[in-house]
Amino acid sequence: MSHKLLILSKHFDEYSRLIESSNLPDLDEIVSRPTEDCDIVFGEPNLIRDALPLLSHPKWIQSNWAGVEPLLDPATPPRRACLKILSDCLQRIIIFTGKANR
């Protein structure tokens, strides 16, 4: 199965570089703008919230910070997302995010 990853962050270039360097199997494309066929979403919760109406069937939504309040907003369309164990690649992204926010 192939996947299309949507990254919604001001650090898109760095995140996409890290993910591409990991050569993840079945990841076909990384994009910065939402399209209906994006099935994996990673980014800032407020940007994810705004993109949800444009996504038809996301399978995995991952916030890049702990606060998920924007996703709990009653105006946010309800979506189901499954929790995944962080891969080595995402662990590196989290470390990058921590350094970028200092």
Q: Rounded to an integer, what distance in angstroms lies between the CA atom of residue 93 and that of residue 28? A: 19
> Would you list the domain boundaries of the chain?
3-100
Query: What is the per-residue pLDDT across 64-83, written as a single tens digit (0 to 9) for each?
Result: 887 777 777 777 665 544 33
* Residue at 6: amino acid letter: L
Read off the pLDDT band of 5 (50, 70, 90). Answer: very high
Query: Which of the four CATH numbers 3.40.30.10, 3.90.550.10, 3.40.50.720, 3.40.50.150 does domain 3-100 have?
Result: 3.40.50.720
Q: Rounded to an integer, what distance in angstroms lies between the CA atom of residue 43 and that of residue 65? A: 8
Say what the pLDDT of residue 84 is.
Answer: 41
Please, what is the average pLDDT of the chain? 78
CB 51 within 8 A of CB 39: no
Query: What is the per-residue pLDDT across 36-60, written as a single tens digit (0 to 9) for each?
Result: 999 999 999 889 988 988 988 888 8
* Residue at 101: amino acid letter: N
Can you list the alpha helix ranges (DSSP code H) found in 8-87?
12-21, 45-51, 69-72
The contacts of residue 90 (CB under 8 Å, 6+ apart) are 42, 62
Tokens of 102: 């200092």
